[in-house]
Structure 1
Amino acid sequence: MANPGISASDASAKNFNIVALETFFTPLPELAVPSPHTFTLTEYTRTSQDELHERIKDADVLITTAIPLRADALSVEACPNLKLIAVLAAGTDSVDLAACTARGIRVMSSPNCNADVVAEHALALYFAVRRTLLPTMRDLRAGEWPRRGTLMKGSFVAGKPPRGCRDETAAIIGYGHVGKNLMKLLTGLGMKVIVSGRKGAPAPEGRVTFDEALKTATVIFLCCPRSPETLGLIAAPEFDLMQNDAVLVNVSRGGIVDEGALFRALTDGRIHGAGVDVFDIEPAGPETSVLLGSDAEGLNLVATPHAAWIGGATTSNYQRVLCENINGFISGKVEADRVRA
């Protein structure tokens, strides 16, 4: 890998200006840099786009999580000294990687820091949707149990009771750290698990084609990164392939599922239900997502606010990897699987 850390011209003792843009998500650990280098640290709890240019103009190193860093903000004129963007997240879709590559700005992510808790959150969404917990609770609180005499059939599909784990075929779309952890959990519960190949491509050995995964699965887990090839991955044609008692769980990124198509599939009873943790526009609300509007209130839909990553070990993992990424970059010994540009 070319130029994995600082360049030869920066090898002598240097003071690095480190700017943390959004410590709201993950508090910073105690930072240090390899001797004889020194650093100056400036921390901001949150940063808006209006504040971005002023805050990064003198930075050598940026620490960020979700704020969009586009080509104009990454130009030589905007941040002439910038050498490293350390992202406290597994995904780097908020950063214009092409602009960074063109300038030689290194971008490093924090993979496998939250894979356990994201897989567990996906499982929680599955159970809530499969058992139709929210619609049943709404009916219960509305006094429907004494009026109807029973709410037992609230989770039935076509007159049939809900599947148990041993009757499920789970398809995993996106077989990275989260997908692998999810495989262990699902297998332990007794589910048959299949792993999908890429959309429109032959399935590699040990996997099934994308279309076969959608047709065969009774529960579909999305845990793939956001990229040009995954945007709009699940839309109306894909919902038409699914079984009518299928459950869709999305813990990947917004934009991978067409929200309008998902709303229609739920409204029409095309699938049994869905659990989503991510949205096209975030922060999301009724004014930005049809999935959160009043028309969605009666659906078998469980929505959480991009919270799957939150867990006891996530913060400490992010803090450890951040220190490793900054120190590795300065010393010229980066972890190759963390480099995104």
Structure 2
Amino acid sequence: MPKQSLSVVVTRRLPESVETRLSELFDVKLRENDTPMTREELVAAVKEADVLIPTLSDRIDSTLIAQSGEKLKLIANYGAGVDHIDVATARQRGILVSNTPGVSADDAADMALALILSVTRRIPEGSHRMQSGTWDGWAPTALLGGRISGKRLGILGMGRIGTAVARRAQACGMQIHYHNRRRLRPEIEEQYEATYWESLDQMLARMDVISVNCPHTPSTFHLINARRLNLLKPTAVIINTSRGEVIDENALVRMLKSGQIAGAGLDVYEHGNEVNPDVRDMPNVVLLPHISSATVEGRIEMGEKVLINIKTHDDGHRPPDLVVPAML
């Protein structure tokens, strides 16, 4: 008797090539529109599926997992971050969780560098003048920004993405500094001429630009709080392409408004798509709609990783990108 095909539920629209391959391999239920599933739809999905493919817009908490059916054995997350999934509860119920690490490192690093340049060179302000028709010609003192060459870049979390940021920033002449839970190998430090700071406070006080590249975990929630933001130089710029919860957003907004921090480039926000209204009209802030990993190539590669994780699990083996609570 042939093996019954896995029942797979996808919570959001994925690239067409990924959806096509899923349809070829599994009994898949695709999302008809590109809106997040309601809570009721998620409950129905975890009850009927062998495999759930959620994204970061889906809250897979303990209450939802408790309502899952006996069939659900794998949550194959489409994305690297899993802070929206209660991994510990899933494992307690015998449900594995996988993710897609390493795919978007270059894409996110490109965006971090773009934000650094956008804030320090005041690119959005210049673009707005041109598009609004308010530019009245070149002037020696108009929209003066600052060079990034020679500036100190402090990377908070020099993993895959942080290292990719360092590579790009080094090519632009920036001096690389970093803070990690664990120090990098000497050969990596030598490659990037990187200075390690065991004390995050000491690093923050000395940097011209801070790039947040660490994941959101219980230990990193508001890691950049009001006290630490006060350590930054008035000329410093902070960039966040990682997770909004790492920064105390209210404290950041207060200090940007008062001029205690020179500027910020944000692609993520503490409360998801609910952006603090006070930050929207600040000329020294660049806001993006969480697009640091939004490339065609990256999204397809993420889908390929999801496919491999599901197929490996279906073949009776450990998914290559298995997430365990000890990793978090």
Class of the TM-score when normalised by the shorter of the 2 chains: 0.7 to 0.9
2:61 is matched with which residue: 46, 50, 70? 70
Task: Tell me whether 1:187 sits opposite 2:173 in the alignment.
Answer: no
Q: Is the 8 A contact 1:145 1:151 kept in 2?
A: no
Task: Tell me whether 1:243 sits opposite 2:226 in the alignment.
Answer: no
Query: SS state of the match for residue 18, structure 1?
Result: strand
Q: Give the Cα separation in 1 of the matches to 2:287 and 2:179.
A: 24
In the TM superposition, what whole-angstrom CA distance separates every residue of 1:81-137 from its partner, at most 9, and x where no partner exists?
210000110101111112112112100000111111110011111101001223345
Q: CA deviation at 1:333?
A: 3.2
In the TM superposition, what whole-angstrom CA distance separates every residue of 1:195-223 from its partner, at most 9, and x where no partner exists?
1134xx99997621211221121111111
Distance change >3 Å, CA 204–CA 267, structure 1 → 2: farther
Task: Tell me whether 1:172 sits opposite 2:170 in the alignment.
Answer: no
Q: Give the Cα separation in 1 of the matches to 2:30 and 2:83.
A: 22
Instruction: Name the aligned partner's letter for residue 151 of structure 2.
Output: E
Q: Give the Cα separation in 2 of the matches to 1:113 and 1:29.
A: 20
Matches within 5 A, 1:98-247: 98-138=88-128, 141=132, 143=134, 145=136, 150=139, 152-155=141-144, 162=146, 164-198=147-181, 207-208=196-197, 209-247=199-237
Task: Tell me whether 1:23 sits opposite 2:32 in the alignment.
Answer: no
Q: Give the Cα separation in 1 of the matches to 2:159 and 2:85.
A: 20
Task: Tell me whether 1:318 sits opposite 2:302 in the alignment.
Answer: yes
TM-score by length of 1: 0.82
Query: SS state of the match for residue 62, structure 2?
Result: coil
Query: SS state of the match for residue 74, structure 1?
Result: helix
1:43 is matched with which residue: 14, 25, 30? 30
Query: SS state of the match for residue 221, structure 2?
Result: coil
Q: Is the 8 A contact 2:100 2:321 kept in 1?
A: no
Q: Is the 8 A contact 1:251 1:276 kept in 2?
A: yes
Higher RCO, 1 vs 2 (CA within 8 Å, ≥6 residues apart): 1
Task: Tell me whether 1:308 sits opposite 2:292 in the alignment.
Answer: yes
Q: Give the Cα separation in 2 of the matches to 1:272 and 1:252.
A: 20
Instruction: Name the aligned partner's letter for residue 41 of structure 1.
Output: V
Task: Tell me whether 1:55 sits opposite 2:42 in the alignment.
Answer: no
Q: 2:193 matched to which residue of 1? A: none
Distance change >3 Å, CA 196–CA 327, structure 1 → 2: same
Q: Is the 8 A contact 1:70 1:96 kept in 2?
A: yes
In the TM superposition, what whole-angstrom CA distance separates every residue of 1:218-248 from its partner, at most 9, and x where no partner exists?
1111111110011111121111111111111
Q: 1:289 matched to which residue of 2? A: 275
Q: Give the Cα separation in 1 of the matches to 2:143 and 2:47.
A: 57
1:95 is matched with which residue: 60, 85, 90? 85
Q: Give the Cα separation in 1 of the matches to 2:279 and 2:106.
A: 33
In the TM superposition, what whole-angstrom CA distance separates every residue of 1:182-206 from its partner, at most 9, and x where no partner exists?
11111111111011134xx999976
Query: SS state of the match for residue 304, structure 2?
Result: helix
Q: Is the 8 A contact 1:263 1:296 kept in 2?
A: no
Distance change >3 Å, CA 151–CA 270, structure 1 → 2: farther
Task: Tell me whether 1:339 sits opposite 2:328 in the alignment.
Answer: no
Distance change >3 Å, CA 203–CA 243, structure 1 → 2: farther
Distance change >3 Å, CA 337–CA 86, structure 1 → 2: closer
Query: SS state of the match for residue 231, structure 1?
Result: coil
Q: Give the Cα separation in 2 of the matches to 1:190 and 1:29.
A: 44
Distance change >3 Å, CA 49–CA 139, structure 1 → 2: same
Task: Tell me whether 1:330 sits opposite 2:314 in the alignment.
Answer: yes
Q: 2:192 matched to which residue of 1? A: none
Q: Is the 8 A contact 1:259 1:289 kept in 2?
A: no
Q: CA deviation at 1:78?
A: 3.3
Q: Tell me the number of residue pairs that the alignment of Structure 1 and Structure 2 aligns.
A: 309
Q: CA deviation at 1:32?
A: 7.8
Instruction: Name the aligned partner's letter for residue 17 of structure 1.
Output: S
Query: SS state of the match for residue 30, structure 1?
Result: helix
